[in-house]
Every structure is written in C-alpha cells, then in structure tokens.
Amino acid sequence: MWTVILTLIFVGLLIVLLEILVIPGGGIAGIIGFGLMVSGVYLAFEREGTTAGLLVLSGTVVINIASLVLALRSKTWDKAMLKKQLDGKVNLIDAERLKAGDKGETISRCAPSGKAFINNDFYEVYAGTSFIDENQMIEVVKIESNKIFVKPLKDSL
C-alpha cells in the first residue's frame, strides 16, 4: 500500500510542477496533480492510521514547498534559458538611401503594415489607417524612427 501512496504523491507533485513551470494556463493539470496528492494522503489516513497519515501529510507539504523553491531558483534554469541577446532590428534605414517622396511597390498587402520594395531594398512599411493591396505603387510619406509610412501613389496625384 505504501507504494501506491508514495506513487500518487510523487506523480501529483510532478504534475503540479509541470503546471506551474511548463504547461500554460488552464489549471486542469494542476487540479489533477493536487487531486492525486490528496488521494495519496487520504489513503495514508484510511489504510495506515492517523499517525501515518499525519506523517505523510506533513511530508507532502514539506516536499511540495522544497520542490517549488528549488524549481524556482534561477540557477536551476540557467541551462535551459536562452542567453544569446538578439540585436537584430527591422528597417535599419540609411537616410541617404530612403527619404520621404521615394516611390516603390508593395510586395505584400499592407493591412496596415506589410512589405515593400523601395530603391532596390525591401522594407517593412506602414499604411497608417488605410489598406494597400499587393503590387501597388506607393510613395514614402514620412519616416519616424524605424517606421516607414507610405500611401498609395494614386492618392498623391
């Protein structure tokens, strides 16, 4: 019987830890894990008596707290964490190659953002509140930071 009790508590603990650390949202796995641990403690009280039940209950609480503290320590997850810093940026704009008034063509639908081919380069562009279909001629209206705002060329006439 002790094998069943300890297995229920151990599997329940693993499922609760997975719910907290890996499985996003829902809580169903956590509820199942908690239910397995409660079942193990209940069986200890039912089959082995009050003293054994109290020992199993207190042991389960201590093991749960210790596992949670150990799992949440930052050094535990150092090997699993992404340590490379991503420094790529969208639209590194050279002010000499691209400026307001330049013309180009959309290569994807801008709803309101999309891709365009302007001055022999590909850029991510923003159409503001309008939508511009693919393969439409566009004009650069303004450049703020790394955002390129465009409008359809037919509106500039």
Model confidence at 87: pLDDT above 70: no
Nearest Cα residue to 2 out of 44, 57, 45: 44
**Mean pLDDT within 9-24:** 85
The predicted pLDDT at position 19 comes to 84
pLDDT in tens, 38-79: 999 999 999 999 999 999 999 999 998 998 788 777 666 666
The predicted pLDDT at position 156 comes to 44
pLDDT in tens, 97-119: 888 899 999 999 998 899 999 98
The residue ranges of every structural domain in the chain are: 2-74, 103-156
The predicted pLDDT at position 157 comes to 42
**Mean pLDDT within 139-156:** 83
Which of 16-30, 112-126, 135-149 shows the lowest per-residue confidence on average (mean pLDDT)?
A: 16-30
Give the domain 103-156 fold. OB fold (Dihydrolipoamide Acetyltransferase, E2P) (2.40.50)
Which of 19-28, 134-143, 145-154 shows the lowest per-residue confidence on average (mean pLDDT)?
A: 19-28
Which is higher by pLDDT, 153 or 96? 153
- What does the block give as tokens for 118? 């302007």
